[in-house]
Amino acid sequence: MILMPAALLYVSLFVGRYPVSPLDVAHILIAQMFPIAPDWSKSAQIIVLQIRLPRAIMAMCIGAGLSISGAAYQGMFRNPLVSTDILGVTAASGFGAAVAILLSRNALEMQLIAFAFGLAGVMLTYALARVSQTTPVLMLVLSGIVVAAFFSACLSGTKYIADPDSKLPAITYWLLGSLNAASVKGLKLALPPIIVGSAGLLLVRWKLNVLAMGDEEARALGLRTEWIKGGIIVCTTLITAAAVSVCGMVGWVGLVIPHIGRMLVGPDHRALLPATLSIGACFLLVVDDIARTATAGEIPLGILTAVIGAPFFAYLLRKTRGSWQ
């Protein structure tokens, strides 16, 4: 569970267009903790520590965060087709990022604006879904569709008025998803919400089992369902908004990884949530390694996750014939 992501992280540091030997990578990493005489080039050190390491950590955190969020939402909504963007966070963040590009803000400002829009989008959904002090699941889903549609339209609007020579391509490429803008600064901004959100979800992991029995039964079992549901929404929204604000729209991770997790460890969220963290981290790290090494240029991340995720989900659907297992 921990060894696999760690091993993949190490591999990710020496694969890439600029060759750095595995041994040098080990030396560079050790040199950060113990003083040893450098026998590697300065540029190798910069590439490993300033470029590949932050990018790999970002990929792992985003993969893990999106996966645990997807698993929590699938449990809370009792629906296998739910993913993290169900409440409109992705569409809202995307719009925020497009606005930031339109206003020529720098990468960090864009990340902040996209994050803020994502939070605002989900708050809007939650407010819309509120019926006499409860938030029925169906109302949440429908409100999410409304909010996502609204922000998608706004996004199209920004594309329409964007300068087709400079801004429009920037928006379009950003939306396709990529981690090549990952930096140490960006990491410092994105990690806290992802870590806080994931920790929150891990804390209520057993309550998710009870919540999966349905709101009414969960209440009869003594759960304050509104508080717990609200808490889960806050956690997943922090994670997803942070993820989207860094790497654009990366679909399918939050949908597919929880299913793989359930195949491996079963439906109990006590085991499922930690498992999705590990599997999701490995998945997005490998996909990002492919994205940056497979061709001379970069393949957008969103394309790769969909190209891998969609056929895999189709296979799952055929194999399980629509049931949970």
Partner 1 sequence: MTPLIEVRGAAFRYGDRQVFTGLDLDVQRGEMLSILGPNGCGKSTLLRCIGGALTLNAGTVRLGQIDIAGLDAGARARRIGFLFQHHIPSFPFPVLEVVSMGRAPHLSLFGVPSSKDAQLAEEALERVGILHLKDRPYTEVSGGERQLVLLARTLVQQPDVILLDEPTSQLDFKNQALSLKIIGALAAQGVTMIMTTHDPNHALLFPGKVAMMKPGGVMLTGPASDVITDANLTATYGIDISVYTVPRRAGVGGVGADARDAGAGEIKLCSPW
Residues that bind partner 1 (CB under 8 A): 75, 78, 203-207, 209-210, 212-214, 216-217, 219-225, 262, 266-268, 270, 324-325
Q: Which is nearer to partner 1, 167 or 205 (CB)?
A: 205
Q: Which is nearer to partner 1, 55 or 207 (CB)?
A: 207
Q: Which token pair is 274?
A: 């930690």
Q: How far is the CB of 3 from partner 1 (least distance, A)?
A: 25
Q: Which is nearer to partner 1, 155 or 218 (CB)?
A: 218
Q: Which is nearer to partner 1, 108 or 213 (CB)?
A: 213
- The interaxial angle of helices 3-14 and 53-76, nearest 10 deg, is 140
Q: Which is nearer to partner 1, 192 or 214 (CB)?
A: 214
Alpha carbons 303 and 301: distance in angstroms, whole number: 5
Q: How far is the CB of 83 from partner 1 (least distance, A)?
A: 17
Alpha carbons 155 and 209: distance in angstroms, whole number: 37
Q: How far is the CB of 268 from partner 1 (least distance, A)?
A: 6
Alpha carbons 230 and 123: distance in angstroms, whole number: 10
Alpha carbons 228 and 211: distance in angstroms, whole number: 9
Q: How far is the CB of 103 from partner 1 (least distance, A)?
A: 42
Q: 155-162, long-range: CB within 8 Å, 24+ apart, which pairs? A: 155/91, 155/94, 155/95, 155/98, 158/95, 158/98, 158/99, 158/102, 159/98, 161/102, 162/98, 162/101, 162/102
Q: How far is the CB of 198 from partner 1 (least distance, A)?
A: 14
Q: Which is nearer to partner 1, 94 or 254 (CB)?
A: 254
DSSP 32-81: TTS-----S-HHHHHIIIIIIHHHHHHHHHHHHHHHHHHHHHHHHTT-TT
**E-assigned strand segments in 246-298:** none
Q: How far is the CB of 279 from partner 1 (least distance, A)?
A: 18
Q: How far is the CB of 203 from partner 1 (least distance, A)?
A: 5
Alpha carbons 182 and 51: distance in angstroms, whole number: 8
Alpha carbons 182 and 179: distance in angstroms, whole number: 5
Q: Which is nearer to partner 1, 127 or 263 (CB)?
A: 263
